Amino acid sequence: MAIYFDKQTKTFYLESKQSTYAFRVNEFGFLNHLYFGKKIARDDLCYSVHVQDRGQENFLPGCGRTHSLNQYYNECPTIGRSDYRESMIALCDARYSRVSELKYASHKVLSAKPEIDGMPSLRGGKTLAVTLKDEYNNSEVILYYTVYDELPVILRRAEIVNKGKQALKIDRAYSFCLDLDDNNWEALTLHGAWARERFIERTPLHHGIFTIDSKRCSSSGQLNPFMALCRPNADENSGEVIGFNLVYSGSYAIKAQVNQFEYLRVVGGINDYDFEWELKSGEKFSTPEAVMVYSDGGIGKMSRTFHDLYRTYLINPRYVDKPRPIVINNWEATYFNFDTKKLCDIIDSVKGTGIDTLVLDDGWFGERNNDKCGLGDWFINYNKLPDGLTPIIEHAHKNGMKFGLWFEPEMISENSDLYRAHPDWAIQVPGIKPCPGRDQLILDLTRDDVVNYVIKVVSDILDNNDIDYVKWDMNRTMTENYSEHLGKNNKEMHHRYILGLYKICEALVNGYPHIFFEGCASGGCRFDPAMLYYFPQIWTSDDTDAYMRTMIQYGTSIVYPLSAMSCHVSDCPNHQTHRTTPLASRADVAHLGATGYELDTTKFSDDFRVQVKEQVEAYKKMENLVLFGDLYRLGCSQNSNYFAEQIVSKDKTLSHITVMRALAYPNFTIYRLYPKGLDEKATYHVEELDLTLSGSTLMNVGFIVHFGGGDFITRTFTIKKV
Ligand code: GLA
């Protein structure tokens, strides 16, 4: 791993074993991007810079008719000085001028990667900090670049410091800018909705701006904060791909802009929609971190890089490589209708199956007997559970099971004691009726008193009950962006809310290191790297239909590791799609993540219980692959009749494949599967087919999968090196 500065050419080379990222300080002091891609030698790259006199361009004063910033590849573009593309930073000074020019002042290689004030970020790597000074408005911008030896990754972020005496206004503070030579790329994004999260979409870029964003103060239900540029010929297994992902849970934007010279600029960070930030004299503003991954091996290699990066440097090391709890969650079993006996019966009913954790979902607190009330009242509902949580927790522990509890700490119901006591704690504008969303409002986490209250009230439950697991939900996105105490700075609201949220996460996750935290937001509607920093796994979707899950989990795996996805077997007909799929298929698909169950196990027949026991045993055999393995996506049900994913151990001695055929057709074509990622020279045994073949034969000749009759049938294969 190297960060190298060539004093002669003033060029920075940020190198991993596989990639180079290069930029230089040009003759005017701007940071001029030179290259991001496959590893190259440390040659002088100035020859590759091209500027020319072009009509209708404006030029920097005193530089003749060639030096227009519109022609430069800039590491940190601003506005007002001849660059008409999207800026990374936009500031407004005390005289209301927005003209700014950020020029190189100094740089240093840091001995340790600094944390970001109040925000999660990745660990490790080597970090370069380059300080730029603005010519006109007394600001300084520090650009941070982190590089990892073994992974083709660059992390970027910025800090804006007000060095002047008067306040500055930040109109935009994005985390990164990447300027590329040509627009011969397509954008791959992950769009979705509740119960249909992270579907893949690929679209050609065009002149103008292609934007994905969120304005909801929540990162990702509709569009994940992720975009990849793919060469048109790039596919799952080959071709150049560059992936961008924001370590942020609030409103964001990522934009890919093609200008009239066919240059491509990608920028992204906190959404500047309804955003402004007052930066007083001496203050500093930090952007969230952005992750950039380079792949010369298609989308699959990009995903494997993200997975390795997040498992090694992002997700809580306390949990990331530990076997995950095998959960029985009572939500779809009982909804709000449960009592102590029912919960103890559920515990009894899974005895001997290997299921090891009961998670008590929504409805145990306040007057919460439906979803219209009670949020905020984090006190046990003694009408429903007369002896509190203790008998259930003790019953679980006595039976060798752990106990988990659901919270939705960020929310408040209008029909709650908390709201009656503190109506001003809910986000709304006095005199304007708030837009309802699941009949609840959001607590104003921009206020310290509210943040402290949430920490205290959740801590009280955790302190007084022997809880092993928390499911942290969030079921409403923001509408009335307003907080009275922020006054004229109300456009700081979304970001301040997210900082408040991180404060709570920090206090609870670090305050209770023995508790395993799972994230959730109406299923997978806030599935982003910042949430993964706190919660080692996230409920992937409220949609547990096995067929839909092949698409949702496939799309999620484009960025996020399998071990980060909670995947449950639920009842049929499925509660979201009303589809019936075989139990075996539901389990096979749920095994491609942190598996669990979500159905009324008290209704299990003996036969069903035996099947569940066998499923858990099968999962345990492949669990290390889910936690540590390399993922190869072999078939995508979003655009074909087949879904197939393969996981290969890092040492290539063990591999697991799951295939689903969606619909059965009579006399249809055969389905031949070509495994990947094996050692060509090694010999492998495919257990289910009793076939012993070389890695090269398996990968090149493949084998035919026989499904028999029926829809949504899965087959699994275990491949072992002999
Ligand atoms: C959300 C979650 C579900 C469940 C319910 C409870 O929809 O995604 O898993 O916890 O809330 O209200």
Ligand 1: which atom is nearest the Cα of residue 371? 12
Q: Report the phi/psi class of residue 298: left, alpha or beta, with left for phi > 0 and alpha for psi in -120 to 50.
A: left
Ligand 1: which atom is nearest the Cα of residue 471? 10
CB 74 within 8 A of CB 33: yes
Probe ligand 1: pick from 520, 540, 575, max atoms within 8 Å of CB?
520
Query: How many Cα atoms within 13 Å fall on the side-chain side of residue 714?
Result: 25
Probe ligand 1: pick from 327, 330, 331, 541, max atoms within 8 Å of CB?
331
Probe ligand 1: pick from 522, 531, 543, max atoms within 8 Å of CB?
522
Give me ligand 1 centre to Cα 473, in Å.
7
Whether the upstream peptide bond of residue 152 has omega within 30° of 0, thus cis, is no
Fold match flag (327-628 vs 635-721): no
CA dist 631 and 647 (Å) reads 5
Query: How many Cα atoms within 13 Å fall on the side-chain side of residue 637?
Result: 23
Ligand 1: which atom is nearest the Cα of residue 542? 8
Probe ligand 1: pick from 327, 542, 544, max atoms within 8 Å of CB?
542
Give me ligand 1 centre to Cα 407, in Å.
10
Ligand 1: which atom is nearest the Cα of residue 598? 9
Give me ligand 1 centre to Cα 522, in Å.
5
Probe ligand 1: pick from 362, 375, 565, max atoms within 8 Å of CB?
362
Write down the CATH number for the domain with range 635-721. 2.60.40.1180
Q: Whose CA is nearest to atom 7 of ligand 1?
A: 522
Give me ligand 1 centre to Cα 384, in Å.
19
Q: Whose CA is nearest to atom 2 of ligand 1?
A: 522
Taking all residues of the chain, what is their mean pLDDT, rounded to a whole number?
Answer: 97
Give me ligand 1 centre to Cα 362, in Å.
7
The segments of the chain whose pLDDT lies below 70 read 1
Ligand 1, pocket residues at CB < 6 Å: 331, 361-362, 371, 406, 473, 475, 520, 522-523, 539, 542
Chain center to CA of 606: 39
Ligand 1: which atom is nearest the Cα of residue 523? 8
Query: How many Cα atoms within 13 Å fall on the side-chain side of residue 1?
Result: 16
Give me ligand 1 centre to Cα 599, in Å.
14
pLDDT of residue 1: 58
**314-370 pLDDT per residue, tens:** 999 999 999 999 999 999 999 999 999 999 999 999 999 999 999 999 999 999 999
Give me ligand 1 centre to Cα 371, in Å.
10
Catalytic residues: 473, 542
CA dihedral 501, 504, 505, 506 (to 10 degrees): 120
Give me ligand 1 centre to Cα 471, in Å.
9
Q: Whose CA is nearest to atom 6 of ligand 1?
A: 362
Probe ligand 1: pick from 194, 361, 371, max atoms within 8 Å of CB?
361
Ligand 1: which atom is nearest the Cα of residue 406? 10
Topology of domain 327-628, CATH: TIM Barrel (3.20.20)
- Cα angle vertex 492, ends 268, 289, to 5°? 35
Give me ligand 1 centre to Cα 354, in Å.
24
Give me ligand 1 centre to Cα 476, in Å.
11
What DSSP assignment string belongs to 352-387? TSS--EEEE-S-SBTT-SSTTB-TT--SB-TTTSTT
The residue extents of the domains of the chain are: 327-628, 635-721
Q: Whose CA is nearest to atom 11 of ligand 1?
A: 522
Of 678, 668, 682, 722, which Cα lies nearest the Cα of 702?
A: 678
Ligand 1: which atom is nearest the Cα of residue 522? 8
Q: Report the chain's C-alpha Rg in angstroms.
A: 27
CA dist 197 and 588 (Å) reads 20
Cross-strand bridge partners of residue 693: 684
Give me ligand 1 centre to Cα 424, in Å.
26
Give me ligand 1 centre to Cα 600, in Å.
16
pLDDT of residue 361: 98
CB 104 within 8 A of CB 90: no
Q: What is the DSSP letter of 335?
A: T
CA dist 326 and 71 (Å) reads 55
Kindly state the tokens that stand for 605: 């027949």
What DSSP assignment string belongs to 430-443? TTSPPPPBTTBEEB
What DSSP assignment string belongs to 184-248? --EEEEEE--TTS--EEEEEE--BEEEEEE--SSSS-SSEEEEEEEE-TT--SSSB-EEEEEE--
CA dist 693 and 419 (Å) reads 66
